[in-house]
Structure 1
């Protein structure tokens, strides 16, 4: 019996061991059958879809006559049509008329396996899938999968919106195009319909647009420039960024060598830098705005062919004023940018340079530059949120933080002062102390909170504005302060309709998010208003309450002024594209003047709006003899601002060799008395009480001071620390 049981056990064991592999094989066979069934069903469905698409695709001759691109009418905020954009066509070129170098350049850079795939490229799709896996979660799109045939399908039949459903339809149409047309016909359609920027569709239109002649005479260098535009027409446009266009042309030439279309010696002999560009005409500064706003249509609507009416936020009067202000105030050899936002983020004016015809590179939205002391907005907001008050006392004195010693160019320090005074005169040591106390990461977090998306470091010198930022982002941050600490997102499109009035998009009101408590926004507004009334931003005064901040970087490479009044927030930047120094460029001069010139027009028809915080006159500490300003330079050289420049006192005689700049009045001219009675009279707390029988102005101090503005706060000068050092000084 035991032996039988043992034998029986082995038999049972053997049966069990054999059943497991049998079950796995069964499930594998089922999975294979299901996979083959699904693949077959998918193939049938795809074939049906392609067959239907083939029947619906127009003939080759019909496609040649069809329009390539939309006609778009752009409306200003008041409904006025200020720009109509439509396709710019050249002559239709057959493939035999198209230079071979142009054909080869386009195939090499856009679809090297064009002659071998059926409309979609499995190799390219695999490469794109690997890219998507490697960059999953970074927000970057899948790249490298679109063939020339797919691009043609997208340009002719679809929109540029990036969705999986659109990509699937694009693939079906590409297969259908390959089924219906020959490779030569597809390439001819593509070369005559692809978009090259500047409103130009097709190689002939692009050649006439950029080179002033037909594409039939295109050289290898010109072909490389044009072929490089397809990937990003606005980025690689030779009229927008010549260096980017040349760099991209070099990539095209190297790709042609790799693909075997040209030799290395031919590529080396090509000189894209020597290509002569045709002069542009008929453009204006409003195109900076439309170039920024219109690409957003791809995210707002899914309509690729029908004529559109696009209603925008731009105010044409403000736009003209912004253009005039930039052109009038930018120093010779420099560039300028201006962005003006309404209280909800509506872009009312946008200027990206001094001349759109000369350069359509939008410095208001694309350029990244150091903001200098304008960055202190985030430093002081973080300090206020951490518990500092505007009247707290700090000491302007030598300080070293992690081996970095912020300094003033004169080497002098003003001693005790309030947070308000330190902000008004942009004292570097105080900003460094605040950053060290609250933590530089807190400052970075505050900037992130207010919409700064460019990289930010947490080195001590970051408090002086060493991080690079965009003008539109900094303007939005100041607009959020003006809104009481509620976020502001710049936008330019309010509504989109078809030509027959069918609504495609309507913007919904954005209530924003609370970024800081209201009292923090009120406190920083107090500081910003003081900076304009008595500090470095006095040139930005416009006769009504203004809050703002200047910014100047090392060697005057960048000058900024950002501020707000009566619901309009404006940011101004000036500098050279190559970041070389500009003589005399400080935030409190040309940028502040441009701000004032623009804002006087922008808010002229708006009611005066006092800020929801009381601005108190900064502390005035007088010498015992009542005859000198506290902290005044001992060498008698006069008062200086944050940039080491003499303070310009309104109403005084011009300095030698200057025009419109002021200096203290000569001996013998009287000014108001600097005492408590005068302060109370200027702030409206006490009516003027001249002595009986005495002249109206007979005070003992001979420093002329400006009259109080309408908001009741006097704009008296004060001794200030000298010019701030480089944002990277010592760091």
Structure 2
């Protein structure tokens, strides 16, 4: 027994010596009190809307640092009562709690818990992780002893109350007080202090914003302990259920916007860990209206997305799905889906740039291009119509003919020019929207048309400031580029306006001028409506994430209705703007104002198949006044011919002179030719004025 006692005493002395050396070494290595006061475990980002209102706070929030004399005594008492009742008497480790915890561990609990004093918790929060292992507990104990040796109890409690985590990103009592009660911690009541003190054990479980009943129940436990320990009078009446909590602002759909905008800070700012405030372009009212429009109009089982841009590219609202909590996948900025007929924007832009005008006549007929035969949604062909009507009613065969005429590569180049960043196919079917796109890119393209053909760059961050208000980033408007001539943008706006006024987009009408286009993919898998009014451009997409069919989904139904519901709010405070659709065509494309520039019809010269001149004024069969076929009389097979009079070929004899001697004398200056009349079976060809633009290429049917 004597040997056992001696050896036990020797081991205890060695153990104490080892612990003493470890504590001394740790104490020397610890940062100073002021260094600990200044350290933070992460960056706080407060995101503000364009009006300055706070829409979300991300990362840890520390609030204001409160000195010990600024912290209400009731807050100190509440925390000590529930977390460490012997705080003022132990030396960093509570032997009573430690003994009980070790006994629990030896009797079956494989975790050593319930031993942490306030000092140990502070050591863990500042220096260690939360793994509940024996090694980590030993390190925690040594650090706690070192802190008790280096700092006073008052300093340790001050550090703890300013650094402990209370849930919802709030570190420290001031941050928690502002988050849950909308006032600083210096104004905490007894009930509020009890609620905050009760959060430390399980911040997510007892958060008043997550479960009010659980928070009140936990606060009642804290108040009971405070009475038992004499920290508040036994007869004190405190009702934590009467505490007025800060209303939780809706942050659901806003997170789609912040998920898109905030990663851009890595490119906009130098590396910084100090708290910052990000002022964004988001309009809170428009975001609510967008969220409501998507939720109320999206078909069951489908998802909806919306992007709305101001005329300078500022993102006013962004909804990436029906519910951010359910799925944070951003369908507005990340999803790649086929746009359907909304892609015809680029087909018609290319056609307008090549020389077409909205009033030009085109023919809806069956067409085959390299083995591909597009069909109209109606299953019928309507014959001759204007380009304007063909776009308004989304005639697929016309789009196919135009795409083939201007070139599919030209259409792809136009899409690239207008901001489409995803891969683009140049197969014939591309004119009907077979290439996958992002909704934000398509909305950007329509915004460029609204901007009279000038480029538009979407952006979401206006400025970034430090916590003290110093501006460290300020948005500068991107340099604009003229993507197409203004007359092309005017012609495209004409077509888009007609599509809403009388065509497939009628459900998007809002009582003021609207220009836009529907889009529907095969088997109703995707529905689009994208348009603009009064300087606001909005794109809407609906569909299923698994790309399955959605019954009855068309661009002109649910997406157009969601567009209208949102836009009525978005433009309500903006003046009504009429679209500029007057075509100020370039000189090469202008039609003559006076017939005298090209003479009367009877003054045209004609030639036969072999190039012989025919006397002016002679029609078919050599008779005056017999008209030649004109554009309005072309048949279904005439679309591939230039848009000016063409020959009607017939058999002719070889023995008759095609022009009179008088005419030949005038034309050649010779008087030796014989006068002959034109043969009755000759089909003369008029030589028209030179075309004022590139002639169309023939279509391979």
Seen in structure 2, the aligned counterparts of structure 1 residues 447 and 307 have a Cα distance that, compared at 3 Å, is: same
Residues 660-719 of structure 1: per-residue CA shift (max 9 Å, x gap):
xxxxxxxxxxxxxxxxxxxxxxxxxxxxxxxxxxxxxxxxxxxxxxxxxxxxxxxxxxxx
Aligned twin of 2:429: 461
How far is 1:506 from its partner? 0.8
Seen in structure 2, the aligned counterparts of structure 1 residues 64 and 331 have a Cα distance that, compared at 3 Å, is: farther
Is 1:324 matched with 2:292?
A: yes
Aligned twin of 1:585: 553
Q: How many angstroms apart in 2 are the aligned matches of 1:474 and 1:353?
A: 17
Residue from 499, 502, 514 that aligns with 2:470 = 502
Q: How many angstroms apart in 2 are the aligned matches of 1:443 and 1:437?
A: 10
Q: How many angstroms apart in 1 are the aligned matches of 2:341 and 2:474?
A: 39
Q: Contact between 1:69 and 1:304, CA under 8 Å: does it hold in 2?
A: no
Residues 9-53 of structure 1: per-residue CA shift (max 9 Å, x gap):
xxxxxxxxxxxxxxxxxxxxxxxxxxxxxxxxxxxxxxxxxxxxx
Is 1:296 matched with 2:329?
A: no
Residue from 98, 108, 112 that aligns with 2:131 = 98
How far is 1:411 from its partner? 3.4
How far is 1:345 from its partner? 0.2
Q: Contact between 2:56 and 2:251, CA under 8 Å: does it hold in 1?
A: no
Q: How many angstroms apart in 1 are the aligned matches of 2:129 and 2:313?
A: 52
Matched position secondary structure for 1:496:
strand
Q: How many angstroms apart in 1 are the aligned matches of 2:30 and 2:417?
A: 50
How far is 1:286 from its partner? 1.1
Matched position secondary structure for 1:394:
strand
Residues 332-357 of structure 1: per-residue CA shift (max 9 Å, x gap):
00000001000000000000111111
Is 1:550 matched with 2:526?
A: no
Is 1:569 matched with 2:569?
A: no
Q: How many angstroms apart in 2 are the aligned matches of 1:302 and 1:583?
A: 49
Q: How many angstroms apart in 2 are the aligned matches of 1:527 and 1:282?
A: 39
Q: Contact between 1:369 and 1:469, CA under 8 Å: does it hold in 2?
A: yes
Matched position secondary structure for 1:548:
strand
Q: How many angstroms apart in 1 are the aligned matches of 2:287 and 2:455?
A: 24
1:43-82 equivalent positions in 2, closer than 5 A: 66-82=39-55
**Aligned CA-pair RMSD:** 3.1
Residues 146-205 of structure 1: per-residue CA shift (max 9 Å, x gap):
xxxxxxxxxxxxxxxxxxxxxxxxxxxxxxxxxxxxxxxxxxxxxxxxxxxx9799xxxx
Is 1:428 matched with 2:392?
A: no
Aligned twin of 1:388: 356
Matched position secondary structure for 1:367:
coil
Is 1:314 matched with 2:260?
A: no
How far is 1:69 from its partner? 1.8
1:167-566 equivalent positions in 2, closer than 5 A: 283-566=251-534
Q: How many angstroms apart in 2 are the aligned matches of 1:607 and 1:96?
A: 58
For structure 1, the residue ranges without an aligned partner over 5 or more in a row are 1-54, 104-197, 202-212, 216-279, 616-731
Matched position secondary structure for 1:601:
helix
Residues 52-106 of structure 1: per-residue CA shift (max 9 Å, x gap):
xxx9996999689932221122221112222222228998498796389xx9xxx
User: Given the two structures, how large is their TM-score scaled by the length of structure 1?
Assistant: 0.50
Is 1:86 matched with 2:54?
A: no
Residues 545-590 of structure 1: per-residue CA shift (max 9 Å, x gap):
0000000001110000000000000000000011101001000000
Seen in structure 2, the aligned counterparts of structure 1 residues 99 and 578 have a Cα distance that, compared at 3 Å, is: farther
Q: Contact between 1:283 and 1:357, CA under 8 Å: does it hold in 2?
A: no
Q: How many angstroms apart in 1 are the aligned matches of 2:30 and 2:354?
A: 65
Residues 412-458 of structure 1: per-residue CA shift (max 9 Å, x gap):
21111111111000000000000000000000000000000000010
Seen in structure 2, the aligned counterparts of structure 1 residues 97 and 81 have a Cα distance that, compared at 3 Å, is: closer
Matched position secondary structure for 2:447:
helix
Q: How many angstroms apart in 2 are the aligned matches of 1:299 and 1:593?
A: 37
User: Given the two structures, how large is their TM-score scaled by the length of structure 2?
Assistant: 0.53
Q: Contact between 1:281 and 1:357, CA under 8 Å: does it hold in 2?
A: no
Seen in structure 2, the aligned counterparts of structure 1 residues 283 and 606 have a Cα distance that, compared at 3 Å, is: closer
